[in-house]
Structure 1
Amino acid sequence: MEFNDLPEMAETFLKLPLKVDPAKMAKFFNEEAGPVFYLMFGITYECQCSCRHCCTGNYKKEKHRDLTTEEIKDVLDQAAKPLIVNFFGGEPTLRPDLMELIKYAKEKSMYVFTDTNGLAVTKDFAQQLKDSGLDLLYVSIDSPVPELHDEYRGVKGCFDKAVGAIKNALDVGLSCVISTYMTKESLANGDFEKIIQMSKDMGTHGVRYLLPTPAGKWLHETDVLLTPEEKEKVWALTDYPYISRDFYFQTQFSSQCRGVADKVYMYISPYGDVQPCCFMPLSFGNIREEPLKTVLDKMYKHPMYSHECIPNQCPMIDPDFRKKYIENIPDEAKLPYKM
């Protein structure tokens, strides 16, 4: 597999809030890169929250189906040497083997990230994350108003726990970034700017924002999308790299996502489904049934990945893509839908 524009992408990653050795980065891109560049690994659907915008909230949940520790390690072995492994959920901190997985992933990749709602991140837990080798912790803050954040996440006291998690991470020397889900409301009422200021006041390493996307619980709610004028306002507020879009390989000042275009990103669900993205409810195979390389070869040869079909924006907000691949999913189908 070949990645496009590696020098440019390397420059992007050098701006991450991490201790980056340029020589090591260059060696990775030139000699060590495996078949997967950025692996978003969903390790559980379990979560204490019920967020209104959850991107995996409409996936079929079944008890006792999560990949085992050994199955996850086997996938990491098959991925060879990805630049980044991002453990995702659900809520990753609910996996009792999280520290073991971080340690193993760190041996296999350059960087390991994880996302959290912060409910379980005590100072001791934060120290364990750091000792395990975690490079970056994303803590979700959806509103600077505690009551609204709690309402959006469905858990009373969630805001205070998230703030506590940020403080605990910073206290133990763990790089921490606030992750926030952009909405029309938070942009219009100034809450996005307040979250940025909150991040700076707390001394975090940055703010990652996710543009509203008709995916997950919002799969059929295209009215959540920002207008061109609203997007221009977002770009004007973006002080890159301190404030960045949800994935570092994305174009920072447009709606373009290079993940599909450059075949640099993939998502594996807690049950082993291989998907182009966690937002995209389409499965090209399962690692319990086929080797990862076999599934990737099949996925990347699909017409969806041809240059003629790749939109110049996130596929999930592209009308033609949605009409062809999303709107045709039967109402009774389990998600992710098998291609």
Structure 2
Amino acid sequence: MSGSSLDWVYGFWKSLSPYAYARAEDEVVILPPNLVYKTNRTGVDLLDHVGKGGRLEDIPGFSEERAREVEGFFLSLKAAYEGRPVSLERVAYGFDFTRLPVLGEIALTYRCNNRCRFCYAGCGDGGEGLASASPGEADELDTEGWKRVIDVFKDEAKIPFFSFTGGEPLLRPDVEELAAYAVSRGLRVNLVTNGRLADPSRAESLYASGLATAQVSLEAPAAALHDDLCGAAGAFEDSVAGIRSMVAAGISVQTNSTLTRANRDALLGMPRFVASLGVKRMSMNLFIPTGAGATASGLFFPYAEAGAFVDEARRRAHEAGVDFFWYSPVPMCLYNPIARGLGNKSCAACDGLLSVSPRGDVLPCSSWPEPVGNLLSDGFSKVWFSDGAAWFKKKRYAPDSCAACSSFAACQSACPLYWRYAGYDELRGCKEALRW
């Protein structure tokens, strides 16, 4: 096999490189949407060499045998990116699979024009939780402060992708400036929003800044229930208008819905509704009883019932021609997302996720109220490799029954905030044999 027979590799990696990232620090390749594959230093160096315009035949010791190995490597990478089965060496997952985060999120503000009953931060006027400790603009980093955070994401955390979230990030007029800055630093940026402020002019401005994707919260396919859950009359109409504006501007929109007891039945109608808006991707996550949600009645939805719902929602999404994503961790003894092709859904707190609050505090995740340090005043390494962060990364919160399970490394006992609220009764009688 000659080097010329591998010419397809150069065009393939050039087209993929804006969306993929090879990281030498922990020898991983990160593919969209945040899929992580373990490689080795040779693989990372190979991708770096090709990405810089190098020719494969110029590599010292390149031979027919090496050419076949290189072809297999890139064919596997191509299959992984396209979502096809990949024949790879299996590497046992452990708590040190990655050394650095995979993605980040920046809560620009806790101010919000909704007051969702399930909000993890308790945003909106009079909200409780994280938002009550950081209620206004005076408690938010300014534009230059956020640019420093973005620099840390790029230079120290070495993540390829992050989201602006909140609160409602579009309440800040500098979203476009920050998005453009992040893009100039080689980062991909997503917006997590309720969409209510995304009128046609703002949507076009966001797209022009380099922001190509947005996730819009939509809690029901009808106004009455959505507005009730979001605590704001007219919220549904505004959010739908925002989705239409962003789609028209060229932004790729994905909806996200929080599964609660109150909207469980209605959400099964969401796939057809989002398809009618021209949206091709939707996601759901499980209500986390913290912040405002900790005292919300009638919303709690147990792990034991989540699996059947996810399977049905996914089936309906397939019928509607919409890609479906499930985000929340669920104990694998109750529901196994890996076996269903949904990927690993273990808790990402201080592990795959770097979450930054409006003050610059690093939270284990956006729902956890106690920070493990401040990204700017303490520095990334001090915070990320601290004992406090390790408590989450090593899953030291796991109950004994989970820690002793043979599937613990893959499952990692789901969400500690869930267990803090609900206790462990659902795990009684759980066997190590997974429910497929």
Give the shorter-chain TM-score range: 0.7 to 0.9
1:65 aligned residue (125, 129, 139): 139
CA positional deviation for 1:292: 2.1
Q: Whole-Å Cα distance in 2 between the matches of residues 247 and 225 of structure 1?
A: 12
SS in 2 for 1:237: helix
Matches for 1:26-175 after TM superposition, within 5 Å: 27=47, 35-57=100-122, 58-59=129-130, 60-63=133-136, 64-79=138-153, 80=155, 81-175=158-252
* C-alpha spacing 1:282/1:152, structure 2 compared with 1 (3 Å): same
| Equivalent pair of 1:75/1:292 in contact (CA under 8 Å) | no
| Equivalent pair of 1:78/1:293 in contact (CA under 8 Å) | no
Structure 1 alignment gaps of length 5 or more: 15-23, 324-339
State the one-letter code of the partner of 2:413: N
| Equivalent pair of 1:34/1:82 in contact (CA under 8 Å) | no
2:416 aligned residue (306, 315, 328): 315
CA positional deviation for 1:294: 1.5
SS in 1 for 2:269: helix
| Equivalent pair of 2:149/2:376 in contact (CA under 8 Å) | no
**Which protein has greater RCO, CA pairs closer than 8 Å, 6+ apart?**
1
Structure 2 alignment gaps of length 5 or more: 1-22, 36-43, 53-97, 123-128, 330-336, 399-411, 425-436
2:373 maps to 285
TM-score (ref. length: structure 1): 0.79
RMSD: 3.6
State the one-letter code of the partner of 2:378: E
2:354 aligned residue (266, 283, 286): 266
TM-score (ref. length: structure 2): 0.62
2:80 maps to none
State the one-letter code of the partner of 1:38: L
* C-alpha spacing 1:179/1:134, structure 2 compared with 1 (3 Å): same
- Among all aligned residue pairs of Structure 1 and Structure 2, give the percentage whose two residues are the same amino acid: 23
* C-alpha spacing 1:34/1:230, structure 2 compared with 1 (3 Å): closer
1:243 aligned residue (324, 330, 351): 324
State the one-letter code of the partner of 2:111: E
More divergent stretch after superposition (222-231 vs 167-176):
222-231
Q: Whole-Å Cα distance in 1 between the matches of residues 422 and 370 of structure 2?
A: 12
Higher-Rg member (1/2): 2
1:213 aligned residue (272, 276, 288): 288
More divergent stretch after superposition (178-187 vs 271-280):
178-187
Aligned length, in residue pairs? 309
